[in-house]
Amino acid sequence: MHFHQWKRREVVTLLGGAAAAWPLTASAQQPERIRRIGVLMNLLESDPEGHARFAAFRDGLNKRGWVEGQNLQIEYRWGSDDAKRRAYAAELVVLKPNVIFAGTVESASALQRETRTVPIVFAQVIDPVGSGLIASLSRPGGNITGFALFEFAIAAKWVELMKQIAPNVTRVAAIYDPVSPAAPGFLPVINAGARAYGVDVTTYLVHNDAEIEQAVETFARQPGGGLIPLPGTLIVADRAHIISLATRYRLPNVYAFRYYPANGGLASYGVDNIGEYRRAADYVDRILRGEKPADLPVQLPTKYQLVINFKTAKAFGLSVPETLLAVTDEVIE
């Protein structure tokens, strides 16, 4: 399927905000009114992307009548690596909140290891059934439900976008972090898409920023290269480094989320992940009002975005086709 056939989606407005931690005991004046939720994020507290995600989630709660300091108290943790996430998951479960919100599969899995009873809602998980979080999309069956991301088939569009915007690319590096359980699921799709376009694929499994740099440096020694970093916590946390490497070696790059071209990358096609955090507040609200996660079907995305950084394209000497611009949701200049 070509981009001119893709339906345009509206872009959800991002709203700012912050969070506050709750005391261990509710106000003695109105204990029956207070609800408590935990939040386990998978990025550093200093990461603006993490704050944009949490702000959208909190905004969704506000719109459903839940206001911090009035009828809601929030305890949140920012766990950027697996060990911290496990420790923070245990801390949150001990506090016995009414529900815990987990942004990604890494956070949700860490919480699942700690409890099978406290309700958990996730916002952006790829393949939640394959990840072992739920029994099925329609009947999650346990204490976890939420909002899933795109299916693996979307990776074919990343290859297509690469060839449309950078037709001289004949080699693609797919870089991923093994801590992200779903990342390898994209590889067969990328390989199949690459074969259709006569593109060779090299896979790099990376554990830290030093290995990312070594992989990109090695790959860039031959001409005709393009870069597809696969979704995962390490990749988003190290996005500034990856973008700088792609720029240094003039490697056209395509990603799954807007924050990549928004920070100097070339292009992205995927779900409006900030919007998914806002949508997740609906399930937290419903659980706070008495519904059970097992009875709430996992929701699939409703909005997708095609984003191109025109300034980066010009710097790479690329001319974006008019047919592609016509279906682009956002052009960053």
Instruction: Give a yes or no: residue 213 inside a domain.
Output: yes
Gyration radius (Cα) of the chain, Å? 20
CA 65 to chain centre: 26
pLDDT digits (tens, 9 = 90+) for 223-243: 999 999 999 888 988 999 999
52 and 104 fall within a common domain: yes
Q: DSSP character for 4?
A: G
- pLDDT at position 303 is 81
> Is 86 a domain residue?
yes
Q: Quick check: 261 pLDDT over 90? A: yes
> Quick count: other Cβ atoms within 10 Å of Cβ 117?
9
Q: What percent of the chain has pLDDT over 90?
A: 73
Could you read off the pLDDT of 150-192 as tens digits, one per residue?
Answer: 889 999 999 999 999 999 999 999 999 988 878 889 999 999 9
- The residue count of the chain comes to 333
Q: Are residues 170 and 75 in the same domain?
A: no
C-beta separation of 17 from 55 below 8 A: yes
Question: CATH code at 223?
Answer: 3.40.50.2300
The reply to whether 104 and 203 lie within a common domain is: no
Which pLDDT belongs to residue 29? 42
Q: Is residue 193 part of a domain?
A: yes
Q: What is the mean pLDDT of the chain?
A: 88
Pair 84, 43: CB distance under 8 Å:
no
Distance of alpha carbon 229 from alpha carbon 315, whole angstroms: 20
pLDDT level of residue 11 (50, 70, 90 thresholds): very low
| Of 234, 193, 196, 192, the residue nearest 215 (C-alpha) | 234
Q: State how many domains the chain has.
A: 2
197 and 116 fall within a common domain: no
Q: What confidence score (pLDDT) does residue 252 get?
A: 97
Instruction: Give the end of a domain, one of 255, 287, 314.
Output: 255
Residues 163 and 206 in one domain: yes
Does residue 137 lie in a domain region?
Answer: yes
Q: pTM surpassing 0.85?
A: no
Do 58 and 120 have their domain in common?
Answer: yes
Closest CA to 248 of 267, 225, 231: 225
Position 297 in a domain: yes
Q: Which two tokens stand for residue 9?
A: 């989606």
Q: What is the pLDDT of residues 83-104, one digit of tens each?
A: 888 999 999 999 999 999 998 8
* Residue 92 and residue 207 in one domain: no
Same domain, 136 and 163: no
Torsions phi, psi of 304, nearest 5?
Answer: -125, 155
From 285, 279, 250, 281, select the one nearest 266 (Cα to Cα). Answer: 250
Q: How many CB atoms lie within 10 A of CB 63?
A: 12
pLDDT at 197 > cutoff 80? yes
User: pLDDT value at position 10?
Assistant: 33
Distances (CA, A) of 325 to 6, 168, 305, 306, 309: 12, 19, 13, 9, 11
Q: What is the mean pLDDT of residues 4-21?
A: 36
Please give the pLDDT value at position 44. Answer: 84
Whether pLDDT at 1 is above 90: no
In a domain, 319, yes or no: no
Q: Please choose, from the candidates 46, 141, 54, the residue with its C-alpha nearest in 3D space to the C-alpha of residue 104.
A: 54
Q: Is 265 a member of any domain?
A: no
Q: Give yes or no: residues 121 and 200 share one domain.
A: no
Question: How far is it, in rounded angstroms, from Cα 5 to Cα 47?
Answer: 35
State the Cα–Cα distance between residues 330 and 333, nearest whole angstrom: 10
pLDDT above 80: residue 20:
no
Tell me the percentage of the chain whose pLDDT exceeds 70.
90
Cβ-based neighbours of 211, under 8 Å, separated by 6 or more: 204
pLDDT in tens, 94-143: 999 999 999 888 899 999 999 999 999 999 898 999 889 999 999 999 99
| Gap between the Cα atoms of 327 and 333, Å rounded | 16
Would the pLDDT of 246 be above 50? Answer: yes
Q: What pLDDT is attached to residue 103?
A: 85
Same domain, 145 and 156: no
Amino acid at 66: W
Q: What is the pLDDT of residue 188?
A: 95
Please check whether residue 61 is in contact with residue 8, taking contact to mean a CB–CB distance below 8 angstroms: no
H or E element that contains 118: none
pLDDT tens, residue by residue, 63-76:
999 999 899 999 98
Work out the pLDDT band at 3, boundaries 50, 70, 90. Answer: very low
Q: Are residues 78 and 219 in the same domain?
A: no
pLDDT, position 266: 97
Same domain, 144 and 20: yes
Closest CA to 264 of 317, 325, 307: 307
Among the three residues 224, 255, 286, which one is the final residue of a domain in this structure?
A: 255
Q: How far apart are the first and last CA of the chain?
A: 27
Give the domain range for residue 158: 152-255
d(CA 180, CA 187): 13
Residue 125 within a domain = yes
pLDDT of residue 27: 39
